[in-house]
Amino acid sequence: MKNKDSLPTRSARSKPIALLAAAVAFGFLLLAGRAEAAEYYVAPTGSDSNAGSMAAPFATLQKGNDVAAAGDTVWIRGGTYQLTKQIKLSKSGQSDTQRIKYWAYAQEVPILDFSGYVSTNTAADVPQILVTGNWIHLRGLEIANGKVGASGAHSNSALRSEGASNNTFERLNIHHNFGPGLFISKGTGGNLILNCDSHDNYDKDGSQGDGQNGDGFGVHYQTTGPSTIIRGCRAWVDSDDGYDLISQEVPVTIENSWAIQNGYANGGSVSPSSGNGNGFKVGSSDTGIRHLVQNCVAWKNKAAGFYANHSSGGNTWLNNTSYMNGTQYNMLASPSGDTSSTITLTGALAHKMRNNIGFPNKNANMGGVDTTFNTWDLGITEASSDFASTSDTGATGPRQADGSLPNVDFLKLKAGSPLIDKGTNVGLPFDGSAPDLGAYEYGAVATTGTGGTPGSGGSSAGGSANGGSANGGASAGGTNKGGATAAGGVNAGGSAISLGGSSMGGATLASGGANANTGGNTTPTGGVQGSGGTATVLGGSGPSGNGGSAANVAGSSATAGASSLPPTEASGCSCSTPRRGNDLAGAALAGLMFSAWGLRRRARRAARVS
C-alpha cells in the first residue's frame, strides 16, 4: 500500500490536464486558421446556375453577392454586362482583413452597361448599384451608360452606398449616367474612395432641374463615426458639381484629386441650364464641422473651383491650385440651417487658407477667412511661364499602372517660378527654405516609404501625394522635392501616394507602403500612431504579381492584407476554392481525440510509477 508521500502531487496531476487544455485550444486555433476563403468567378458568357468556378462562372455580379461570405473574393471577368435591373450588394465582410472583394480579374475591364436599365420608381433615386453591406471592396469596375429618364424623372445614382460603412471603392470608372456617379449616404463612415473617376454624368431634364443632381462624387448625411477619405480621384464634365459634401455632419478629407470642367454636359460642349458647376463644393453643415481639402487641382469649372457652400464652421484649404474657373475660391458662409443669409466667420470658425494658388486671382466672399501665404495675399500675379505647362492634354487620359493620376506637367511649377518657396509650413512636407505654393512641390524625388511617426494629437506632417513626398506626403503629381516618403505610399515608376495626417484637423494617417514597380506587395514596416491620432493603413497595388492589398479606412489600425491574383487559365486550375470547414473539423476532432488519449495514458503511467 502506497503512503501519501508516494502519491503524485497536485501539481504533477494537473500537468496532463493543462496539456489537454492546450491541445484542445491548439486544435480549435488550427481549425480556425486553416479555414479558407472562397473564390468565385463571373463572366459575360456564364450562367447563374453554374458553380461559379473559372471554368463554369456565374453570369451576374448579383449572383456573386448572393453566395459570397466574409473573406471571399468575386472575380469579375472582362467584357460587357448588359443590365436592366438593380444590383444589390447586401452582404458584409467582418473587418479589413475579412472583406468581401468584388474585383476585376487581372488586366481585364468588366463594363457594367446600364443602357437598358429600368427604374422601379421614377419619383425617387433607385440606384443602378445599391451597396448596403459593410467591409466590402469594389475594384476595377466600369459603371456606365445609365439610361436617361423621361423629362421630370428623378435622377438615379450609378453607385449608391446607403447606410453602409467601412467600404473601399478603388479604380472605378463611372461615367455617362443619369445622376450622381458615386453617392455615399448616411452610415458611420470609414470609407475610402481611392483612384476613382466619375465623369460625364448628367441628369438631363431631371426632377430637381436640368443637370442639378449630376455630381461626380457625393458624401452626405453621416452624423457619427470616422471620416470618409477621397484620394487620387478625378471628376470631369459632370453636369452639377465634381465633389459635393452638402449635409455631411462628419469631416471629410479630399486630397490629391482633380475637378475639371464641371457644370457642363455632352463632353463639355453644352452648359446645363441649372447645374451648379463647382469643382469642390465643401460645406452646408448644420453643425459647423470642418472639412479638409489639400493638394487638389480645379480648372475650367463653370462656377467656383473651390466653394464653401454656406459653411457655418469653416474649412481648411491647404496647397490647392485653382485655374481658369468662373471664380477660383468662393468662401460663402451662412448661419446653420439658413442658406438665405450670409455671415462673416471669425476666430476658430473662420476658413483657414494657406499656400493656395488662384490663377488668376479672382475670389469671392473672402471676409471670414484666415488667409495668408496665398497668391492673393502675396500680391503674386501668375503667368503661364511660371508653370511647366498650362495645357491639360492627357489629364483625363489613362491612369498610371498603379492606378494613380496621369503624370502630366499641367500646372506643375518650373525652375525659377516665383511660386517656389513662397509658402508657410503647415505640417506638410517641403524642400528648400519654405513650402511652394499650390498642389505640386517642385523637384521632389519619390522613394518607397518605410513608415512614419506622426506627432501628438494627430497633427503631424501628413497629407497625400501622388508623385512623392517627405514625411507623410502632401503633393500631387510626381514633382515633389526632397525627402523619402514616410507615412505609407504606393511607388510606381517614381510616383508615390503617401499617407499622413492633417495638420489642420482630423485623423492622422500612418503606415508603410507597397512597391508596385515589382508588381507585388511589401509588408508595411512603419506607421507609428501619434497620440490622439487614428492610424490608417493604405496598401499598394501592383500591375502584376500579387494584385495589391486592400486599404484600411479611418477608424481601423489593422494592416491591409494582400490578395493574390487569380490563377490564369494556363495554370490548369479551373475551380473555385470552397471553404473546407467539414474536412478541417474532422481532422481537428481526430487530432484532439488522439491527444486526449495520449495524455490520459501518460497520466496513468505516472500514477503507477509513483
User: Is pTM beyond 0.75 here?
Assistant: no
Average the pLDDT over 244-258 and give the result: 97
pLDDT band at 22 (very low <50, low <70, confident <90, very high): low
The gap from C-alpha 65 to its chain's centroid, in whole angstroms, comes to 21
pLDDT band at 489 (very low <50, low <70, confident <90, very high): very low
pLDDT band at 497 (very low <50, low <70, confident <90, very high): very low
pLDDT at 323 over 50: yes
The rounded distance, in Å, linking the Cα atoms of 605 and 610 is: 9
Residues 412 and 443 sit within 8 Å (Cβ to Cβ): no
C-alpha distances out from residue 367 to 105, 294, 346, 423, Å: 52, 21, 9, 21
The rounded distance, in Å, linking the Cα atoms of 518 and 562 is: 14
Q: In what order do the strands lie in the sheet with 173-175?
A: 79-82, 110-113, 142-144, 173-175, 197-199, 234-236, 258-260, 297-299, 321-323, 357-359
Average pLDDT, the chain: 77
pLDDT at 563 over 90: no
The rounded distance, in Å, linking the Cα atoms of 379 and 386 is: 15
pLDDT band at 576 (very low <50, low <70, confident <90, very high): very low
pLDDT at 145 over 80: yes
The rounded distance, in Å, linking the Cα atoms of 479 and 521 is: 24
Q: Which of 14-23, 35-44, 277-286 has the lowest mean pLDDT?
A: 14-23
C-alpha distances out from residue 333 to 250, 315, 349, Å: 18, 10, 10
* Residue 367 neighbours by CB distance under 10 Å: 12
The rounded distance, in Å, linking the Cα atoms of 484 and 440 is: 16
pLDDT of residue 197: 99
The rounded distance, in Å, linking the Cα atoms of 112 and 109 is: 10
pLDDT band at 280 (very low <50, low <70, confident <90, very high): very high
pLDDT band at 554 (very low <50, low <70, confident <90, very high): very low
pLDDT of residue 104: 98
pLDDT of residue 272: 82
Nearest alpha-carbon partner for 101 in 603, 563, 410: 563
The rounded distance, in Å, linking the Cα atoms of 46 and 429 is: 50
Residue type at 368 in one-letter notation: G
pLDDT at 501 over 70: no
Q: Which ranges of 39-116 would DSSP assign to H, the alpha helix?
A: 61-67
The rounded distance, in Å, linking the Cα atoms of 519 and 511 is: 19
pLDDT of residue 286: 87
pLDDT at 236 over 80: yes
pLDDT of residue 443: 83
pLDDT at 123 over 50: yes
pLDDT of residue 521: 34
pLDDT band at 25 (very low <50, low <70, confident <90, very high): low
pLDDT by residue (tens digit) across 361-383? 999 999 999 999 999 999 999 99
pLDDT by residue (tens digit) across 129-140? 999 999 999 999
Q: Which of 29-33, 112-116, 469-473 has the lowest mean pLDDT?
A: 469-473
pLDDT band at 337 (very low <50, low <70, confident <90, very high): confident
Average the pLDDT over 25-37 and give the result: 53
Nearest alpha-carbon partner for 479 in 319, 340, 593, 588: 319
Write out the DSSP string of 450-512: ------GGG-SS--EEES--STT---BSS---SS---S-EEEETTEEEEE---TTSSPPP---
